[in-house]
Structure 1
Amino acid sequence: MCDKGTRIIIGWDPNVVNVMVVALTDQVMHCLLRTVQNDKRMFASFVYASNSYIKRRKLWSDLCMHKGFVGNHPWTILGDFNASLFVDESTSGSSRMTIAMREFKECLDEIQVTDLNYSGINFTWNQSPLENHGMLKKIDRVLVNEAFLTEYPNAYTIFQPYRISDHSPAVLKVPSIVSTRPKMFRFSNYIAENEKFRDCVADVWKEQIEGHVMYTIVRRLRLLKKPLRKLMWQKGNLHNNVIRLRDKLDNLQLQLDANPSSEEIRDAEIKTLKEYNDAIWDEERFLKQKSKVEWLQVGDSNSKYFHKVVKAKANRCRINAVTNNEGILVEGAAVPEVFIQHYSSFLGTSANGSPSHVDTGLFTSKLPQQMALDMVRPVTDAEIKEAMFGIGDDKA
């Protein structure tokens, strides 16, 4: 497809994956990937964008058109886009959005893709120094849509050192084995509205537990986990419950339209409507708390938007790979152990922290005596209650 030699080459192991080329231009190859082992499928678009932002407009238009073909299936777009997305992705150049950056961003907003969680090199392209002035820039990316994050929540990218090349190799990793360790208990605010919530807490708080006051509180909170989990799952899966009740309500309203004089159908419709309103209210509160969209104070039942925010946040807030003290890249389940070893090396070790000589000129500002004493006075129960009850309802 190119008038100046080969621009994009794709190779694969046929024992692992099957590849079908769907469409191609001189700037992108759209493929359908299918794993041999479990027949999982994803669309992948391999990009090598033109150096000219005018010629790249054809690429942006092609990606927007291909989105309609992909639909709601997992889709990743990866390669050299020859354009930055943000002004801080270059060590030199304009401090404002250029036409190329704006058009790139408009394309990504249109096709609804975002950067996959990545580690390693940040500036993926380097320009050879010219008169002692080189430049670093991020123009290589691995982008994914919402369906990809749903299907492959543990996927991530590593941008490796470029060595003798001017581009950093991007390795997209899609772990096939998902850890099955139990999920951490998280209190969901919506269960506090449950009519059985107070009784549930009261029953646990009546337990006689011997020990220090703080120990008894923590012990009771731990004992609450099991009954609260049961309360959360009392009506089944929160999201499936909304779908089930919505379908049931649609069916009853169709029956009522066909037979408006039926009191039995009308009573069932009123009951189901109340259950449906309760279910969507619970789902909205759950998703609002999970996504932490604090500026949406009242919400609008826009659960699809909240789902996107939750998935995007989970994608950003993961550490899939880290370099240890020996400079070795560690990935997957071994990552937490690197952090433990790092902090264990200096936390909890004995060291003399009191300085032998204090420079009296070091601290130029000091609190007045009365304010200093006020900082160490006993804290009253009223102050503790005011602080605890002052925490927002949507806070963890």
Structure 2
Amino acid sequence: MDFKAASWNIRGMSSIDKQDEVIKFIKDEKLCICTLVETHLKPDNISKVCDRIFGVWKWYSNIGVSPNSCRIIVGWDPNKINVMFIQVVRVRRDLWKDIRIHATIANGVPWVLMGDFNTTKSVNEHSSGGSYLTEDFGAMYPQAFGMFLPYMVSDQSPSVLHIPNSLIKKKRSFRFMNHLANKDEFLFIVEQGWKRHVEGHKMFQIVSKLKLLKEDLNKLNWNHGNIFNNVKNKRDQLSVCQASIDSNPHDQHLKDLAVKALNEYENAKKDEYVLLQQKIKIKWLGEGDRNTSFFHSMLKSRKAKNRIDGICDEQGSRHEGDQVADQFVEHFKRFLGSTVSCRNISELGDIFTNTLSSADADDMVVPVTDS
């Protein structure tokens, strides 16, 4: 998997146009990490903008040392790389001093320095001279190269470091499509997979069996084909069967085929529903309550689901709009808020015809003993 890092002096990030350009830049270049310089974002706006740009990525800014206006923001994909921030300094000379110390400590270990430099040590390091690789870096990553792309909405070109085939793809945890649990073969596949003999301690046995079981479940998923195509195909088959019955309504064979097609279509729809539910949960866990379009669409969906557009009163009359709230108030006023006069029970006379005698009533309150 390729590693791609970018640095871009964006010259202000408050405008939507620049934010959209950065989002497109990260997506088109398939970046793992992106540094934005001179963002000039205010403290009360930085979270909203960064959540919009980076989405499920993690991000960090230097707002702590630049409280009036954020200068630097770093966003990265936590599923691909890990990022550590060592130190943030205010004084430029101290920064260069720390970089020289780091260069000494990292002697023989490839490292890269990216950013927007107002001054350079020598003329050949200016933008007209391009980028340079040290011998150590070139020896370990011979295919690495740098790119300076069109500056688009800024007056500075974004720089991209590209190191092909340098990242090890992270293995995903055990997971399978929930709709497979409804298949007839599912329990048999799980049972057979769990009976496999694996040498090693208990935790190693569990992990190894899950890996093997994952392959079998993936095959089962592929055997059932694309779920969304299945729904379409089963619907077309049901439509053909029902059209044939309309032409020949007394043919029992066609009726049996139609019943079978209907069952298959309903099962396909059920699989599709379960899959979509699972994908929504996964996406929700990934994006959480970040200020994303997905989050707002979920809010709108829930709000629409919980909205009451019309209601019928006790007489069966329908009320809509502003009258809905009034009807709720009136209902609970009658149910909870009305006052009714009560009569003393002694005034009811012989309302209770079946009563206990005095002796039977006394027996009901006799203390319980062992005798």
State TM-score, norm by structure 2.
Answer: 0.37
Higher radius of gyration, 1 or 2: 2
* Larger strand fraction of residues: 1
* Larger helix fraction of residues: 2
State TM-score, norm by structure 1.
Answer: 0.35
Higher RCO by CA contacts (8 Å cutoff, separation 6 or greater): 2
